Amino acid sequence: MRARAYITYSMGSDMPGPALIDTNLYMSRWPFRRLPGDEPQELMAKLRQMNVTQGWVGSFDALLHRELGSVNARLAADCRRYGNGMLLPFGTVNPRLPDYREELRRCAEDHRMPGIRLFPGWHGYKIDDLEAADVMSMATQRRMIVQIVVQNEDERTQHPLCRVPNVNIAKLPAVMRGIPEMRVQLLNNRSLQPALLKELVKLGQVYVDFAMVEGVHGTRELSEIVGADRITFGSYFPFYYFESAVLKVKEPQLDQKQVFEANAKRLLGDLK
């Protein structure tokens, strides 16, 4: 109980400032421990406290559950039940499973999801595998955003029986050249890789969050690499403290309106 009270009320309830869109949120349970804020009511309380107007939400169940149809259906239902229009569900498609095309159709047509959240590291495929490229191509044809999760947890703290490698995105430029209209968002990309990020940004609609970029100097460096117009706000709540993400925008004095809201709207297609 003490931990739950801390995440909800500590670090200053006076922190909320401009309205913001959080593009990196999760529902359900992290597989290896309970997190303060992993109940839907707690999630919504935090978002209201921090003046979030829209949240893009994936499900931690997607990491290890093989029946992704149920995972995506629960996610969509929970977003409707608790979000009051604030939460946008991002379903998961695993191209290693035989029904991945049908699952993508369900995400788009049945659940009306604006995008998908891919976990190549957890699901055991490479970013340039034929099936992975097929998923991204079909999502693009349906005008869906493709979120690629590069990392979920620091390798040093992973469970010894569940070591998940960071996703190698070196081949992503080649994939994008074959899908030029794809809208891509990289989540939890700790390694900045300036040359690669610059190449990706030049190729098309590529955006990055900064949840795992360490410190305010890291956020400033990221803005110098990709430009402030390609950085989207991502807290990775409830795995990380929400307030730390806010400070990563305020302390280096980035354009708050742009990073908090405008870039995500542009990626979503609500802002030209």
CATH of the domain at 110: 3.20.20.140
Which CA distances in Å does 183 have to 26, 29, 115, 123, 193?
21, 28, 9, 21, 20
Q: What is the mean pLDDT of the chain?
A: 92
Q: What is the domain range of residue 247? A: 2-268
Q: Is 149 helix (H, G, I), strand (E, B) or coil?
A: strand
Number of separate domains in the chain: 1
User: pTM (2 decimals)?
Assistant: 0.92
How much helix, strand and coil, in percent to the nearest 5, is found in the chain?
45, 15, 40
Percent of the chain with pLDDT over 90: 86
Taking phi over 0 as left and psi of -120 to 50 as alpha, with beta for the rest, 216 belongs to alpha
With bands split at pLDDT 50, 70 and 90, how would you rate the model's confidence at 215? confident
Strand partners, 118: 148
- Tell me if 127 sits within 8 A of 166, measured CB to CB: no
Q: Is residue 192 over pLDDT 90?
A: no
Neighbours of 214 (CB within 10 A): 10
Task: For residues 158 and 162, give the distance between their C-alpha atoms in angstroms, rounded to a whole number.
Answer: 7
Q: Does position 96 have pLDDT exceeding 50, yes or no?
A: yes
Is it the case that residue 247 has pLDDT exceeding 50? yes
Q: Which residue, chain included where needed, has tokens 């990380």?
A: 240
% pLDDT > 70, the chain: 93
